[in-house]
Amino acid sequence: MAERARGEQRTSTVVGPVVRARLGPGGRGAAILCALLGLLPVTPVLAWSYGLAPFAVWFWSATVPSLALLAALGVATARRPHRRRLHRALVVGAVGGLLGTLGYDLFRVPFALAGVRLFAPIDTYGVLALGADSSDPRTGLLGWAFHFSNGIGFGISYAVLASGRRWQWALAWGLMIETLVVASPVAGVYALRGPGLIAIAYAGHLAYGTPLGLLAADPERTVGRLREVGPHTTAYALLAVLLVLVVWQRPFGTPATVRAGQRVAPGPSALVLDGRFHPQYLRIPAHGCVDLHNGDPVPYTLPAAVGSPRLEPGRTTTACFAAAGNAVLRVRTSDRPYAGGFVIVDRTAVADRQADANRTAAVDRAALADRTVSRSGPEGAPR
């Protein structure tokens, strides 16, 4: 009996910590809480794609509070020795998620340079979060900040539950994230179709999981190296990324071409120069319309709009879109890679629905008048 008791004691000594580690650093409850908070930043994309509520509602009620809570937990656990393991996981997850997001984006850059609009969803996030009619540097900054917050959140969720595991587990984590995207309405909303685009998306998430997995495999070593750089390396890294985004997007001013496009008409409007929309992204309600002024000397046709309207040089044309549900439409003026722009159909945008209905009716009346004129002379005389 004594030998059996000693054997049980030895077993509990060896197995106990392993079991606790699998439940998450710092305890089951804290790990699960942090994992859930790490997943909340992406909620607006999913909720909006399912048509549950405006993107902005979820952004300000889920994304922002969850990030604030994670930051507070990171500061609080740093001061509590009994939460040291949880703090390490939060740090490793944040840094690993940040580097993973950079790896994910760098992997996609060559395809974007070749004309594949892989980064288009990011700009739509800012427009939707602010409920804006069109994109500008402020929406661009917010969209990219949201993009990085998702990557960091996913990294934290992984690290608090899987720190210490082999790095290949993070590859599976990245592939699982992309699988959930492909299986959800998000893929349809953003036209993620075809083997080529899906292959790029999956490969990009392998690039995301690699640095995350390598850092989370040995969290103590990772945190030690970060401390060798400085006492607040994680905070400085996050601030550095934010500063780079601010310098890149320049949110304190709006380019003259974008301002001119926004002034074409009340509501969503753009100026077409060199075949491109300025601003690039326009947001409308279901069955809504945009006003486009063609500043080029050549005409363009918009096959994506109702009736394939023709943009005549020097004239403003109203283009309407038939999509009834949430969607991001690629509106081309030609076959050139970056020609045209994007129209975000947001069925939760109800404030201007009546105005758009009136504009649609005006377009119909104008089309009817054109058909009448084509059959008769200026005074109604037969031609």
Q: Which of 73-77, 101-105, 333-337, 378-382 has the highest mean pLDDT?
A: 101-105
Q: What is the pLDDT of residue 350?
A: 65
The structural domains of the chain, ordered by start, are: 24-249 (no CATH), 257-375 (2.60.40.420)
Taking all residues of the chain, what is their mean pLDDT, rounded to a whole number? 87
Please compute the mean of the pLDDT values over residues 319-335 and round it to a whole number: 93
Per cent of the chain over pLDDT 90 is 78
Q: What is the pLDDT of residue 311?
A: 98
Q: Please, what is the angle between helix 84-113 and helix 195-217, to 10°?
A: 150
Q: What is the pLDDT of residue 27?
A: 66
Please compute the mean of the pLDDT values over residues 258-279 and round it to a whole number: 97
* Residue 325 or residue 216, greater confidence: 216
Q: In this model, does residue 15 exceed pLDDT 90?
A: no
Please compute the mean of the pLDDT values over residues 125-142 and round it to a whole number: 98
Please compute the mean of the pLDDT values over residues 274-295 and round it to a whole number: 97
41-96: per-residue pLDDT in tens? 999 999 999 999 999 999 999 999 999 999 999 999 988 877 889 999 999 999 99
Q: In this model, does residue 364 exceed pLDDT 80?
A: no
* Residue 332 or residue 364, greater confidence: 332
Q: In this model, does residue 174 exceed pLDDT 50?
A: yes
231-250: per-residue pLDDT in tens? 899 999 999 999 999 999 99
Q: In this model, does residue 285 exceed pLDDT 50?
A: yes
177-195: per-residue pLDDT in tens? 999 999 999 999 999 989 9
Q: What is the pLDDT of residue 324?
A: 77
Q: What is the pLDDT of residue 378?
A: 32
Confidence grade of residue 379 (pLDDT, cut at 50, 70, 90): very low
Q: What is the pLDDT of residue 55?
A: 97
199-236: per-residue pLDDT in tens? 999 999 999 999 999 999 999 999 999 999 988 999 99
